[in-house]
A = this chain, B = another copy of it.
Amino acid sequence: MKLSAATKRMNKSDLKLIAVLERTGGFASAQELHQILRREGDGIGLTTVYRALQSLVDDKIVDLLRREDGEAIYRLCGDNHHHHLVCKSCGDTVEIEGGAIEKWAKTMAEEFGFREVGHTAEIFGICSKC
């Protein structure tokens, strides 16, 4: 891969954040990531967490999305792009494929001449258990 290029400007904090994001897997806010690190005994400051995440986003190593309330959430952007099916009642989440969405987003964007296109797509409902 081409991590080498990015690795150049990687500092200790960046690596810590990548590690946590790998471990947790899904989305997490800056504050949540900070708490996790703190809980594990790392004295990293909230400011540094924000800085590291910002730099990782700039280097396109991390994806930045928004929760419904506008809070920023981050995830490692890897080859495993996927979407979510979330239960409104119990919060359970299923990761699902979005092949149809990818095609749709690309098609629509092309049709209207948009570049550097991204998308969000989530499905929510009540799961079978609830």
On A, residues with C-beta under 8 Å from B are 66, 70-72, 85, 87-88, 94, 96, 98, 100-101, 103-105, 108-109, 112-128
A122 to chain B, nearest CB (A): 5
Beta-carbon contact of B100 and A114 below 8 Å: no
Beta-carbon contact of B122 and A119 below 8 Å: yes
Beta-carbon contact of B123 and A105 below 8 Å: yes
Closest B residue to A117 by beta carbon equals B125
Please give, as numbers and ranges, the residues of chain B lying within 8 Å of A119 by CB-CB distance: 121-124
Beta-carbon contact of B124 and A117 below 8 Å: yes
Residue of B72, B101, B114, B117 touching A104 (CB-CB under 8 A): B101
Beta-carbon contact of A108 and B96 below 8 Å: yes
